[in-house]
Amino acid sequence: MRNLFFIAVSIFALAACNSKDEYQIGQKTTMEVVDRIDAGEVMLGEKVKTVIKVKNTGTYPLVLSDVKGSCSCTIADYPEDPIAPGKTADIKAEIETKSIGKLTKDVRISANTEPSLSTVIITADVISK
C-alpha cells in the first residue's frame, strides 16, 4: 500500500512538471526601466498619476515579485504574470499630494534581475490652488 501511494505521488509530480507556462526559480533576466520621471506641476490635493514602462530585455521571463512606494501616499499597481522576453508592461503609480513644494517619491521594483531591486524616482512641483 505504501509503494502504491509513492507511485501515485510520483506520477502526479511528473505530470505537474509538464506545464508550458513553467519557469524556473533562479533564472535571471534583464529589464529596461527609466530611473526618473518628472510629473511637472500638480495642484495641491490632486494625485500624481504616472505609468512606468518596464521592458524585458533578457532571455527569460521577467517576474515582478513586488512593487512598493516609498510611503503610504504612493500606490503602485503592477502585472502579476511574467513578462515575456522582448515584451513590455506597465506599472501604474499614484501619489497623493499633501503639501506645497517639491515632491520626491520613489517606487521600488523587485524582480528576477541582477540587481534584484530597481528604483524609479518620481518628482513633481506641487502648487496651491
Measure the CA–CA gap between 56 and 85, rounded to whole angstroms: 5
Q: Classify residue 103: in a domain, yes or no.
A: yes
C-alpha cell at 126: 506641487
Q: Classify residue 17: in a domain, yes or no.
A: no
pLDDT at 89 (0 to 100): 97
Taking CA atoms, 37 is separated from 8, 108, 120, in Å, by: 54, 13, 7
Cβ–Cβ under 8 Å, residues 54 and 33? yes
Measure the CA–CA gap between 30 and 27, rounded to whole angstroms: 10
For the chain, the domain total comes to 1
pTM of the model as a whole: 0.77
pLDDT (tens digit, 9 = 90+) per residue, 85-103? Answer: 999 999 999 999 999 999 9
Q: Is the pLDDT of residue 124 over 70?
A: yes
Q: Classify residue 62: in a domain, yes or no.
A: yes
As to burial, measured by CB atoms within 10 angstroms (0-12 exposed, 13-18 middle, 19+ buried), residue 122 is buried
Q: Is the pLDDT of residue 44 over 80?
A: yes
What's the mean pLDDT in 110-125? 96
pLDDT band at residue 3 using 50, 70 and 90 as cut-offs: low
What CATH number has the domain bearing residue 94? 2.60.40.10
What range does the domain containing 110 cover?
26-127
Q: Classify residue 11: in a domain, yes or no.
A: no
